[in-house]
Chain A
Amino acid sequence: MANRTETSGRPRQRRLLAMLLSLTLGIATGFYLMPTLFAAAPLDLRRTQILLQALHTGPSRPEIVVFGNSIAMCGIDARAIETGLPGSPISWNLSSPGQTLAESFLYLQELPRSVRTIVYVLPIGNLESPAAFNPYVINAFYMYGYRPSKATRELLTAIYKPSEVIPLTQPNLAQRFEARWAVRNSVDTGLRQLLRPDLELQRSLEDLHHPAPYTQRLPSEKLDRELRDLLTTHGRGEFRPAPAQMRLLSNMVTTALRDQRHVVLAFAPIHPTVLEGFGAEFTPALEEFIAGLDHRSGVSVLDATQLLTGDDFIDAVHPTSAGAHRWTVRLVETLAELN
């Protein structure tokens, strides 16, 4: 009897129909659940949400903000800026892992009016790469509630490839589908949190002053290997900034000055071994580039590329707390001159 049911036409069609309907239901469920999954997942871009929330609803209003990537997260202590400057202006370090110049630009429209000075920490790699965003960043911004203003969209469209900027304006359903990167990322971030007790990952997510995750200096053998690998993958002869990044930087400076804000362009420290490995042509080319930068009133340039010694680095690129102290002291001096 069972066999007859199995092989007869109508029940077979019913089973196929049930399969197709349940598959459709599964797809709809996936789309429906995506925002909930995204909000609950331990993502490495979660700091974006923390920063957006702080700018929108934070308890205090900052006067000085610092943008940059993980080098700035480790290397700038915003509390030391507050204590080092007269009047103790509220200062926030809004750096995040892998933050590009275009990503820093997205935050500009969210800055409260209280901000008087913006510090852009410029790692040389960021200036040389023509890319606007890490592909998941725009999606993370969207999923955490960010919506770009018309001016933001227009400027980015004028500077970068359309394909890089189009995701900013994708409809909700497409953004939900794009958000699937979070599923795999949450596994990697979650497991890394378990396996790396030496990292202060919670601090690197939530701290608005000095969100440095690293606590232990790399053993010399590993540091040597990391330096070697860095030079293998990022070896260069001369410094060649990407035109798109320079256009965006110029626009960001002009916008800040128009809004009566000061700007500090802070070139991030480079490990002496790396600097040496880049070759003899690199440093003069970089110095020449920095000398040729915008030096209008209200704009300061802090060249910290050769500020730190090898002992001031926790690994091949990130400063130790001692290195951060030295760099921040120099930044405070620059800010004091600016004011």
Chain B
Amino acid sequence: MLFQTPEFLVFLVIVVSFFAIARTGRWRKFVLVLASCIFYMWWSPSFIILLLVPMLVDFNVARWLAREESPARRRGLLAISIVANLGLLGFFKYYVFFLQNLLSLIHLAGANAQWRTPDIALPIGISFYTFERLSYTIDVYRRAAPPTRSALDFSLFITFFPRLIAGPIVRASDFLPQLHRRTALHFDLGIFFLLLSGLMKKVIVADNLSPFVEQVFSSPAVWPSVVIWLAAIAFAIQIYCDFSGYSEMAIGLGRIFGLELPKNFNRPYFSSSPSDFWRRWHISLSTWLRDYVYVSLGGNRGGTASTYRNLMLTMLIGGFWHGASWNFVLWGFLHGCALVFHRMVRSAERIATSPLRRRIGHVFSVALMQYWVLLCWIPFRIRDSSAMLTALRKFVVPDGNFEIASLGLGRMSIFSTSLLMLTFLTIHAFSNWKGDLDARFARASMPTIAAIGIAAGVIFVTMWPLSQAPFIYFQF
């Protein structure tokens, strides 16, 4: 049940109706939990067990943690939660990968071994809700947050459907206090524009760029460098619009029920350094990794070498979180290298003194950072190692062939794709300069609102993608 489908609209109307009918806060929370379970079961009914059983474990572990004073027992309780959560994630997401790599290693050593790797389906959203549950028990263990006494509140924290499948990754300390307030329905122009903006990003931009990216990156050997560059930019925009569009819709849906979800993106393609990028891209994951991995590893408290090691390990884990595949590890490694390198040289940034030099330096930094980000998207997108290396070579070493007009006759959508990218980048740059457009539109005059509505309607009919793609982050 994708957000942009008619069945989701019907589902939402039903949920809103029941939510409105329910008079007390308790019943409203119950409606949301029930709706969230149905929403999850729409994808895979049996996997609801994976959502609910560990939830019971974490709920009780957290309550015991709050009562327990013995450090050893507290560590033991935390270990139960970590093992339960990571054990499930490890089995469903990484077990097959581990078996396949073990087999490759055995073959590499010259031994002869054969076994059939099992076919294990990945429960949708498992990476997201595992991290949310872990953050809860770790926070209670660190005494950074109190445990909730309400199983209903905890259930809603884990299952709340707008962000159940692909985040934003919510912290219990942010979400649970909101449930103490009286929940109420909200629907205004601000929420509407947030949903509209998310929907447009997803279906009009991301889904329309998807076929071009697929066409080029499925066989990069046959395309010139300039097309590889265009495809890398197209994928950068696609994944941003896909994921930030989903996040905006999730935030908008949350607000309908009076619940605020954290912002997940802050125009990452205007970042001027690796650390700046990770403050703007998938914010809920990067802050999670910072607080629960980087800090746990020692952060920057152990000297230069251990800081670099911790940064690299955090990014490798972040890469591996995305999927059980070496290309995600490589993606994490490349970003880790950039973070380490930036930390090495960042003192040099402060040398530029005059405003003009600083301005030029900033533009240069943004360009350099985005070059690196684009390069990193190639291993993220192309899993086949030979095709990935070909694309990387053509991206880094241009072949000088710029005759894109001679490519294909009729079926190649290179110009309309470029126009779509240009339009998006212009709007994106404008919103970076003037602030969020959805917030501006929500304050606009009546004629402007009518004009935007008509334009959006025409755009939906004429630009709705020919084939719908699921959200990219659903696979993680």
Contacts and interface: CB of A to CB of B under 8 A. Distances in A.
Nearest to B223: A229
B219 to A, nearest CB: 6
B413 A26 contact: no
Nearest to B411: A98
Interface string A8-29: 0000101110111111111111
B202 to A, nearest CB: 17
B53 interface: no
Contacts of A22: 449-454, 457
A97 interface: yes
Given A18-B450, A188-B412, A196-B405, A232 B222 contact: yes
B416 A187 contact: yes
A30 B419 contact: no
A177 interface: yes
Interface stretch (B105-113, B343-351, B460-468): B460-468
A188 B414 contact: yes
A135 interface: yes
Contacts of A187: 415-416, 419
A23 B462 contact: no
B458 interface: yes
B463 A180 contact: yes
A34 B415 contact: no
A286 interface: no
Interface centre among A18, A29, A184 (most CB of B within 10 A): A184
B411 A26 contact: no
Contacts of A189: 410
Contact of A16 (B188, B409, B464): B188
B416 A27 contact: no
Contacts of B412: 188
B449 A213 contact: no
A12 to B, nearest CB: 6
Contacts of B461: 26-27, 29-31, 34, 177, 180
B409 A44 contact: yes
B405 A21 contact: no
Given A16-B188, A18-B446, A27-B461, A135 B466 contact: yes
A192 to B, nearest CB: 6
Interface in B178-231: 187-189, 192, 208, 219, 221-222
Interface string A36-54: 0100000011000000000
Interface of B: 187-189, 192, 208, 219, 221-222, 405-406, 409-416, 419-420, 443, 446, 449-464, 466
Interface of A: 6, 12, 14-16, 18-31, 33-34, 37, 44-45, 70, 97-98, 134-135, 177, 180-181, 183-185, 187-189, 191-192, 195-196, 213, 222, 229, 232-233
Listed from nearest, the 9 A-B pairs whose CB atoms lie closest are A26-B457, A30-B461, A22-B453, A44-B410, A195-B405, A184-B416, A26-B454, A27-B457, A187-B416
